Structure formats: structure tokens, C-alpha cells
Amino acid sequence: MARRTAPTSEQRAATAKREKTRERVLRSALACIQEEGLVEASAARIAERCGLSWGVIQYHFGDWSGLLVALLERGFGSLKDSLAILDNPSSDPFERLRTLVDGTWLLMEHPARRVHLDVQLQLGRDTGHRALVRERMGEIRKQLREVWRKALPECETERVDRAERLATLTLQGLAVEYAVVGKRAAHRADRETLVTALAAVLGLDQPGTRRRRAMWRRSA
């Protein structure tokens, strides 16, 4: 087997420069789409914002779709890294459930996540990229299910999967409303209602219910 030659210092410097340029473009694209929307955030506007010619951007990403795919990949990678906020070592499953809901909400309502959702929808309409979008979405959903299962080991796996899907879809809807209508004070109450509904799906008693049952047992 032939030995792999270690990259030279010049090659390492060139690689670092390429990565720095790619990250610069992706940050500019994210900010541009976030501020102006996907329709208005043209290739020319992004090139102007990051101070590079469109030719340089094409060298790194190919065409416009290639840039969107790279942005999507970056977003999914960031989302995977962010799932750590859903961890809660509490012995109370209800508190762990609340952490799952509140943490998932923070991921869904983040401005960058809304940009990635727009890009995801745009690429999902393109037959050339639909399979990639579905694959990445499947990876995220699988990892999210694993996080929920790990957080709620005392609950039946089927119930946990149903609860995770209900929570994800509901919080995505709230995030869309947040983006279109604006933040409402009732969002906190909406999430508390969701936690209560999920506890029923999972077969968990709410803390107040447990206290009332303990009181009934003592008074019996």
C-alpha cells in the first residue's frame, strides 16, 4: 500500500484560505437572506456583501443552487451540534420533558434556523436536490428521536416517538407564526400547553397531580 504524503505547509495554507473564504461567503449569504429574504437575496447582493466577485463564489460553490446546498449543509451541521442543549440530568421526567420542549423551541425559533428552513423548502422543490434534502432531514429527525429516547428512558419508545413528532411539528408551526406575525406573550403559555399534552401522550403525571395523589393517600 502506497504511503500517503503529508500535505506541505503551502497546501495547508491554501486549504485554510479556501475554508476561510467559504465560511465568509456562507456567513454573508446567511445574513443577506435573513435580512432581505430568499427572493431578494440575489447572487449579486451576496457577492457585494462579502466583497468578492460572483466568479470567486462560483469557484467555491458552483452555481446558485450549490451555494444554497452548502448553506443547508452548514445549517444541518449547526443544528446537530445544538442538540446538546436538550440534555437535562434531572430525576423528574416531567422536567426533562419541559427541557426538551423549551430547547427544541430555541432551535426552531432562531433566526438562522428560519433561513435554513426557507433554503430547505427552496431546494426541496428542485428535483435535483430533493433527495439530499430528505436525506439530511432524515438524519436530523433520527438524531432528535434518539435524544428524546435517551432523555425519557422510563417511557415506551413508541410513545416517545409520537411525542417527539408532535412537539417538533407544533414548535415548527409556532416558529413560522413568530417569523410572520411576531413574538406573542402567549408563546410561553402555548409551550406549557404542549408540555401538558405531551405528558398525556407519554403517560407522565404532572408534578401537581403527583402532589395531589400523595395528599389523597395521606388523608385516606
Domain extents for the chain? 18-62, 63-206
What integer pLDDT is reported at residue 2 of this predicted model? 55
List pLDDT tens digits, range 28-71.
Answer: 999 988 888 888 888 888 888 888 888 988 998 988 888 888 98
Q: Quick one: CA dihedral 55, 58, 63, 64, positive or negative?
A: negative
List pLDDT tens digits, range 84-107.
Answer: 888 888 899 999 999 999 988 888
- Rounded to an integer, the average pLDDT of 195-206 is 91
What dotted CATH number matches 63-206? Answer: 1.10.357.10
Q: Across all residues in the chain, what is the average pLDDT?
A: 83
User: 20-34, 91-105, 173-187: lowest mean pLDDT where?
Assistant: 173-187
Local confidence band at 207 (pLDDT 50, 70, 90 cut-offs): low
What integer pLDDT is reported at residue 177 of this predicted model? 83
List pLDDT tens digits, range 69-86.
Answer: 898 888 888 888 888 888
What integer pLDDT is reported at residue 185 of this predicted model? 64
Is 137's pLDDT higher than 90? no
Residues 6+ apart with CB under 8 A from 165: none
**HSE of 33, CA atoms in CB hemisphere, 13 A:** 24
The helix/strand count (H/E) of the chain reads as 10, 0
Q: How far apart are CA 35 and CA 33, in angstroms?
A: 5
What integer pLDDT is reported at residue 153 of this predicted model? 95
What integer pLDDT is reported at residue 162 of this predicted model? 96
| Fold classification of 18-62 (topology level) | Arc Repressor Mutant, subunit A (1.10.10)
- Rounded to an integer, the average pLDDT of 124-149 is 88
Q: How far apart are CA 84 and CA 104, in angstroms?
A: 10
